[in-house]
Amino acid sequence: MYDEKRRVELVNFLRTRRARLLPAQVGLPDGMRRRTPGLRREEVAQLANVSVEWYTRLEQGRDIRVSKRALENIARALLLDGDERMHLFHLVRQEPPTDQHAAEEEVSLSLQRFLDAQGNHPAYVIGKRWERIAWNAAACAVFEDFSLLTPRERNVVWTLFVNPARRRLHVHWEQVAQQVLAKFRISYGLYAGDPLLGELVEDLQRESEEFRLWWPRHMVQEGPSGVKLMEHPLVGRLSLEHHSFQVNEAPTQRVVVYTPFAEENTAQKLEQLLSLQLRV
């Protein structure tokens, strides 16, 4: 599969990407003292949903069969950026899957300023694949620090169905999940040929029993704004009214803003959460 120089380059690239990561960066416990820096091979394999033997052979530059899907999983597990992902695919002589309309997934500076101007009110932007692509500090305070997550982990649908902490956050999780799924179905219909959206749906069907049950029902609903009740682990009950609207200059993007409802002293709790976030 490789000539000698390409094999050496691949081996060194994967080892250095693995060595630079701390377990906490990928949601793993520190565990026992490590003889060498970075993640272990078995941890990368676990994160990428591949066998330890297969990943070891890949990192050693062995002549093995490598699919684009497996490489994408490895890229996510190692938190590779766009250039690093492209480099990995080229080293394995694979053509990277196209990321259509990538430019549309970048927010303008003025839109980021709008998010920041919301102050204590959580706000973020989702792209065509429902990944949070921009956010403010209040959103990180209420949900989690999105800057530390991979694109898949920032995906609204993925986290809602797969992340146990997000399930616990929503008081009426099933209702919220079905509403989000009905909205997501519209996006899926608009971009049905997008390979990454198709991959997301396949992975959700594998990982979530509820998604697997509800997806064949083809529920479709744009859905009005409304109130969401959340049980936050630090401040307790939050009552938040949420609004979303399309970005005129970037039609594939949607802004979501949460404002405190009149109950549960939510405004004061949001201020408290943001204060804690800014101290970190």
CATH code of the domain covering residue 17: 1.10.260.40
Dist CA 136 CA 121 (whole Å): 9
Q: Give the pLDDT confidence score for residue 141 in this predicted structure.
A: 94
Residue 254 falls inside a structural domain: yes
CATH code of the domain covering residue 246: 3.30.450.180
Q: Give the pLDDT confidence score for residue 94 in this predicted structure.
A: 66
Q: What are phi and psi of 192, to 5 degrees?
A: -60, -25
Dist CA 59 CA 39 (whole Å): 13
Looking at the structure, tell me whether residues 148 and 260 fall in a common domain: yes
Q: What is the DSSP letter of 228?
A: E
Dist CA 73 CA 75 (whole Å): 5
**Cα 51–47–166 angle (5° rounding)?**
140
Q: What is the DSSP string of 66-112?
A: --HHHHHHHHHHTT--HHHHHHHHHHTT-PPPP-TTGGGGS--HHHH
pLDDT higher than threshold 80 for residue 97: no
Residue 220 falls inside a structural domain: yes
Looking at the structure, tell me whether residues 75 and 113 fall in a common domain: no
Q: At a CB cut-off of 8 Å and minimum separation 6, what does 161 contact?
A: 177, 204, 207, 208, 210, 211
Write the pLDDT tens digit of every residue in 53-86. Answer: 999 999 998 888 888 888 888 998 999 887 788 8
The total of structural domains in the chain comes to 2
Dist CA 54 CA 216 (whole Å): 33
Nearest to 160 by CA among 186, 121, 130, 120: 130
**Contact status, residue 151 vs residue 159, Cβ threshold 8 Å:** no
Dmax over CA atoms of the chain, in Å, equals: 66
Residue 106 falls inside a structural domain: yes
Q: Which H or E run contains 245?
A: strand 236-247
Looking at the structure, tell me whether residues 57 and 141 fall in a common domain: no
The last residue of a domain, from among 63, 91, 119? 91
Looking at the structure, tell me whether residues 213 and 111 fall in a common domain: yes
**Contact status, residue 66 vs residue 58, Cβ threshold 8 Å:** yes
* Mean pLDDT (whole number) for 225-235: 90
Looking at the structure, tell me whether residues 126 and 200 fall in a common domain: yes
Average pLDDT score over the chain: 87
Report residue 103's pLDDT band, with 50, 70 and 90 as the boundaries.
Answer: very low
pLDDT higher than threshold 90 for residue 31: no
pLDDT higher than threshold 50 for residue 143: yes
Encode 232-255: b = buried (16+ Cβ within 10 Å), e = exposed.
beebeebbbbeeeeebeebebbbb
pLDDT higher than threshold 70 for residue 10: yes
Which of 21-35, 98-112, 184-198 ranks highest by mean pLDDT?
184-198
pTM of this structure: 0.64
Q: Give the pLDDT confidence score for residue 138 in this predicted structure.
A: 95
Looking at the structure, tell me whether residues 214 and 250 fall in a common domain: yes
Residue 49 falls inside a structural domain: yes
| Residue 176: Cβ within 10 Å count | 19
Alpha helix (H) residue ranges in the chain: 4-19, 41-48, 52-59, 68-77, 82-91, 109-116, 137-142, 156-162, 164-169, 173-190, 195-207, 209-214, 266-279
Q: At a CB cut-off of 8 Å and minimum separation 6, what does 36 contact?
A: 19
The letter for the amino acid at 62 is: R
Both tokens assigned to 243: 């609004």
Q: Which range of residues forms the domain containing residue 67?
A: 4-91
Residue 96 falls inside a structural domain: no
pLDDT higher than threshold 80 for residue 217: yes
Residue 12 falls inside a structural domain: yes
Q: Give the pLDDT confidence score for residue 223 in this predicted structure.
A: 66
Residue 126 falls inside a structural domain: yes
